[in-house]
Amino acid sequence: MAYVRPVSKTTWYLKDRNYTIHMINELTSVFIGLYALLLLWGIGAVASGDKAYYQFFLECLTSPGMLVLLWVTTIVIFYHAIAWFKVTPKAMPIQKGEAFVPGGVIAGAHYVIWVLFSLVVLYFAGVF
Amino acid sequence: MSAVQLELEILRYDPEKDQEPHFQTYQVACQEEWMVLDAINHVKDEVDTTLSYRWSCHMAVCGSCGMMIDGQPKLACKVSVKDYANKKVRIEPLANFPIERDLVVVQDDFMEKLKRVKPYIIRKEEQPIEAGEYKQSPAELKKFKQFTLCINCLCCYAACPEYALTPEFMGPAALALAHRYNTDSRDQGLAERHKELSKPEGVWDCSFTDTCSIACPKHVDPASALQQLKIATTVQWYKELIGMGDK
Amino acid sequence: MELIKTDIAIVGAGGAGLRTAIAVAESNPDLKVALISKVYPMRSHTCAAEGGAAGVIKSDDSLDLHFNDTVGGGDWLTDQDVVEYFVNEAPKELLQLEHWGCPWSREPNGSVGVRPFGGMKIKRTWFAADKSGFHILHTLFQTSLKYPSIERFDEFFSIDLLMADGRCQGVVAMEMKSGRLFRFQAKAVVLCSGGAGRMFPFSTNGAIKTGDGTAMAYRAGVPTKDMEFVQYHPTGLLATGILLTEGCRGEGGVLRNKDGYRYLQDYGMGPETPLGEPVLKTMELGPRDRLSQAFWHEQQKGNTIPTSWGDSTHLDMTHLGEKHIDERLPLVRELSITYAGVDPVKEPVPIRPVVHYMMGGIHTNIDAETPVPGLFAVGECACASLNGANRLGSNSLTELLVFGKRAATNAVEFARNRNAEANESELQEQADKAQTKIRELVQRSGGTESIAGLRAEMTKSLEEGAGIYRTEETLQKTCNTIADLRKRYAGIELHDKSNVFNTDLFQALELGNMLALAQTVAEGALARKESRGSHQRLDYEARDDEQYLKHTLAYYQGDEAPRIDYHDVVITKSKPGVRDYSGGAK
Ligand SMILES: Cc1cc2nc3c(=O)[nH]c(=O)nc-3n(C[C@H](O)[C@H](O)[C@H](O)COP(=O)(O)OP(=O)(O)OC[C@H]3O[C@@H](n4cnc5c(N)ncnc54)[C@H](O)[C@@H]3O)c2cc1C
């Protein structure tokens, strides 16, 4: 009988550095999910038309615990975006003539678009 | 031709004798030019003729000698003994496959999956041979060429954590070959392959760890093929939704 | 013992076996095909072929030119009816592969590209970068998955043919993962089991190329043909024998001796051609036998470079440039860097001649038939006399296709027209004999000989006696040694007694096969008192058409040396002439 080596369903990602890195990347989505919930809550607070409730929401945002979460989320979003941009040339190769557009150009374009979007958002947020 | 000393810890398993696999250690004085496969061959020829493993071409193209070397899936004929000089090296059969005997793994699963992706040209109408070749520009060739380079060594399956956890997953090599045909200008079989590829155990089990591409000794980059397939599969799904499914 | 009844049994799933199987399945889907191979099809050594496959396709070329190159390249030991059929069918077969998806390299207008090759007067070698055989094999294998009538028996090791009533009716093979024997009962059997380069110590051939099928046929009474013709490829990497394709020279690579001198001009292949402008059938594009012989002479003169892996000369490609090398010879670059630590873009690569191809094999004719009814053979295991005394590079990949298809047609016809009952009791008896043979081999104890030991002595002896240049004395010595080794073979003992993937056993069987064939090589060479193509005798330097424009046949005689006989060469339109590779001189 052929021998089947057991695979741990709970610790497999500790076996290999690349697996671990991948799992960290996947974990970042937890924070992004939390942030999405936060946004939903904010929208709910505005939509409720209850000024006091909205005020409470804003106060929560500036509480130290929340600030930590927001900072962590910001860092994590950067990490996630950079990791993703790095691999976009694999998912979306562009062929011009015979040659493929170098990966750096495709990843670079993503950064440019990211910055542009951020500027637009900041503009509407009244930063400029 | 100075010698490189290697301590090989080889996983042994004979289903007729052993309950489970165990390691056996061999000391090998290697010549500097040797690959790890040469060291294993030395063991087989001079020390222990009962050791079983597969090998043939010794030029990294037949794909027989994929095995775990120091925990990583590699072709034994393509890694130099110098990389492990004066170290203890663990040699194990490819991960994620059942062990048939010693370093020989059971590969039936891959053979069956490969067949399921229909890795051949599918056309609605064949052009007769007398009409000559299908024209294909160098650019059209280049589009899929990289994905033709797979030698089916299965290092990618051994590297893939998804395959380890979900053995139904079609896996990197089979899917990359599906993509190879989908993107060949001579092929018209995308819609036909779609059924198989769009199943959960098709492209969607891939979580893009990229470990298959890191392991691939021929730089096929199956992870890239899979991500492109995900996009193609999605597009095809929408096309079928609006009744334009046929390529 | 398990019994598998099939219509056509094919032994070997390399280029030849797969092409044969597909041809049967396509034209006769109702016939069952059993495709038996000791390795998974894609591991077959066809995968190692780099340079390409020859076939007339361009308007500046003609079938006659391909015919002439092949006949002259083979030093007129080719059967000309076979060559004519071959050159005719070659383009169709290569186009067929194109239709099946082979990623041939292309010209800018989208048509297939061709590259120059040694001994060919015109560029006519189709190529897929420098992984042509790999792509051909995988295209065929993947295409074969389409056909439900092809049943594969991967990792089944064939042991013996089953003969009854004067015809071949099947084969016995062992399922490698279980050690169980299977009796394949077939209406026709096609052997596609590849070459036997592993008889030599330094070879481009993979571990599986041990001549099993050829030896099976030989033991069953089919003669081998022209076994003394062994091709040395001039450019093998030193430590490993890995091939650097002739495509290197086709693209403009040159050979230099220790002084950097392009020595081929001293051996009838000059005058020197300008760097980067290779001239067909001249200098580096001379045929393989001549180039390998030139190396030997340089070695005698002390013009080679001594290394710890033997003497070498240089293959210099540095003038081709990185872009060209990466586009046309990517594998060559990868191999040189990995296995020799030399980047051909920057430095010349040390090389030496290496055993590459067996021109000889199972005696077959233009129909891929052996003299035994119901038994066919194709590919490197066979000798259809297409390659004569020296194969031209890139003819053999095409040969697999052309004669694979032909064998399929004829095997089908044979299977359909012979409704003769299988002689079950006789077949079972023979299969039982094979089983007993295996059992004895595994269980035997007290032996003192080792497989690796005998193998090393065999390879050394063949190289010394039947290498690039041969003499009566060296050959006689080798004949004696091989005969002695065959006796000592009875004294090997297997330490592995397991039924599961017992590679000790397979190596023993392979060694037995190689020893039998080694004897046909050495005895054939001893008997051929002339020099022709790859068979060069220092004691008989000239070609002798009077006596030896004949094929050598070797018949199995049990433990004794083979009986040597001769067979006429088919000559239709090209009278034996002079092989001229000094094209530039005219
Ligand atoms: C490095 C290299 C480069 C080459 N380059 C070129 C080139 O550029 N152009 C060209 O035309 N030719 C080239 N050749 C020659 C050519 O590749 C071979 O002659 C050809 O591929 C042989 O094909 P085949 O199908 O006969 O055998 P193989 O591909 O060797 O297949 C043999 C098959 O037989 C099976 N088999 C063997 N023994 C047994 C057994 N006992 N039981 C069951 N199955 C068995 C094996 O499993 C395998 O499937 C090259 C050869 C080498 C070695």
Minimal Cβ distance to B98: which of A3, A9, A99: A3
Tell whether B158 and B115 lie within a shared domain. yes
Asked whether residue B247 carries a pLDDT value surpassing 60, the answer given is no
Give the three-state DSSP class for C241. Answer: coil
Asked whether residue B1 carries a pLDDT value surpassing 60, the answer given is no
Say if the Cβ atoms of C242 and B118 lie within 8 Å: no
Any ligand 1 atom below 6 A from CB of C52: yes
Any ligand 1 atom below 6 A from CB of C133: yes
Buried b (16+ CB within 10 A) or exposed e, B29-49: ebbebbbbbbbbbbbbbeeeb
Tell whether B27 and B123 lie within a shared domain. no
Q: Which atom of ligand 1 is nearest to the CA of C133?
A: 17
Cβ-count burial of A127 within 10 angstroms (0-12 exposed, 13-18 middle, 19+ buried)?
A: exposed
Q: Domain for residue B246, yes or no?
A: no
Q: How far is the CA of C103 from the centre of ligand 1 (A)?
A: 20
Q: Between helices A51-61 and A17-48, what is the axis angle to 10°?
A: 150
The count of other CB atoms within 10 Å of the CB of residue C517 is 26
CATH number at residue B74: 3.10.20.30
Amino acid B111: pLDDT: 98
Count of structural domains, chain B: 2
Amino acid B246: pLDDT: 67
* Host domain of residue B114: 108-241
Q: Domain for residue B46, yes or no?
A: yes
Q: Domain for residue B247, yes or no?
A: no
Any ligand 1 atom below 6 A from CB of C45: yes
Minimal Cβ distance to A95: which of B98, B143, B209: B143
Choosing from B53, B76, B105, the residue where a domain stops is B105
Give the three-state DSSP class for C501. Answer: coil
Neighbours of chain B (3+ CB pairs under 8 A): A, C
Q: Domain for residue B163, yes or no?
A: yes
Locate B243 and state its tokens.
Answer: 């009744």
Any ligand 1 atom below 6 A from CB of C132: yes
Mutate-to-test residue for ligand 1 from C4, C35, C37, C240, highest number of ligand atoms within 8 A of CB? C37
**Distance (Å) of CA C578 to CA C74, C123, C568:** 11, 22, 20
CATH number at residue B218: 1.10.1060.10
C-alpha to C-alpha distance for C198 and C180, rounded to whole angstroms: 27
Q: A115 — contact with chain B (CB < 8 Å)?
A: no
C-alpha to C-alpha distance for C344 and C334, rounded to whole angstroms: 9
Tell whether B121 and B100 lie within a shared domain. no
pLDDT in tens, chain C (586 residues): 999 999 999 999 999 999 999 999 999 999 999 999 999 999 999 999 999 999 999 999 999 999 999 999 999 999 999 999 999 999 999 999 999 999 999 999 999 999 999 889 999 999 999 999 999 999 999 999 999 999 999 999 999 999 999 999 999 999 999 999 999 999 999 999 999 999 999 999 999 999 999 999 999 999 999 999 999 999 999 999 999 999 999 999 999 999 999 999 999 998 999 998 999 999 999 989 999 999 999 999 999 999 999 999 999 999 999 999 998 999 999 999 999 999 999 999 999 999 999 999 999 999 999 999 999 999 999 999 999 999 999 999 999 999 999 999 999 999 998 777 888 999 999 999 999 999 999 999 999 999 999 999 999 999 999 999 999 999 999 999 999 999 999 999 999 999 999 999 999 999 999 999 999 999 999 999 999 999 999 999 999 999 999 999 999 999 999 999 999 999 999 999 998 887 654 4
Contact (Cβ atoms closer than 8 angstroms) between residue B19 and residue B12: no
Q: Which of C99, C108, C114 is nearest to C61 (CA)?
A: C114
pTM beyond 0.90: the answer is yes
Amino acid B3: pLDDT: 84
Tell whether B126 and B153 lie within a shared domain. yes
Q: In terms of DSSP H, where are the helices of C174-287? A: 212-219, 247-250
Mutate-to-test residue for ligand 1 from C36, C212, C380, C503, highest number of ligand atoms within 8 A of CB? C380
Active site residue C256: no
Q: Which of residues 94-123 of B touch C (CB under 8 A)?
A: 100-102, 104, 106-107, 111, 114-115, 118-121
| Minimum CA–CA partner of C143 in chain B | B120
Choosing from B105, B120, B145, the residue where a domain stops is B105
Q: Which atom of ligand 1 is nearest to the CA of C509?
A: 41
Tell whether B165 and B47 lie within a shared domain. no
The string of pLDDT tens digits covering residues A35-63 is 999 999 999 999 999 999 999 999 999 99
Specify the residue for token string 């091939």.
C243
> What end-to-end distance do the CA atoms of chain A give, in Å?
71
Neighbours of chain C (3+ CB pairs under 8 A): B
Active site residue C233: yes
Say if the Cβ atoms of B16 and C496 lie within 8 Å: no
Q: Which of C38, C453, C359 is nearest to C208 (CA)?
A: C38
Amino acid C276: pLDDT: 87
Phi, psi of C77 (to 5 degrees): -90, 15
Amino acid C586: pLDDT: 43
Any ligand 1 atom below 6 A from CB of C16: yes
Contact (Cβ atoms closer than 8 angstroms) between residue C183 and residue C431: yes
Phi, psi of C570 (to 5 degrees): -90, 115
Q: Which of C469, C559, C545, C473 is nearest to C516 (CA)?
A: C559
C-alpha to C-alpha distance for B66 and B68, rounded to whole angstroms: 7
The count of residues in chain B is 247
Domain annotation for chain C: domains and CATH numbers? 2-229+359-421 (3.50.50.60), 235-355 (3.90.700.10), 426-544 (1.20.58.100)
Tell whether B142 and B100 lie within a shared domain. no
Tell whether B226 and B116 lie within a shared domain. yes
Task: Give the mean model confidence (pLDDT) for residues A23-41.
Answer: 92
Q: What is the largest CA-CA distance in chain C?
A: 69
Amino acid C227: pLDDT: 98
Asked whether residue B221 carries a pLDDT value surpassing 80, the answer given is yes
Choosing from B105, B137, B156, the residue where a domain stops is B105
* SS3 sequence of C286-331: CCHHHHHHHHHHHHHCCCCECCCCCCEEEEECHHHCHHHHHHHCHH
Q: Which atom of ligand 1 is nearest to the CA of C243?
A: 1
Amino acid C583: pLDDT: 65
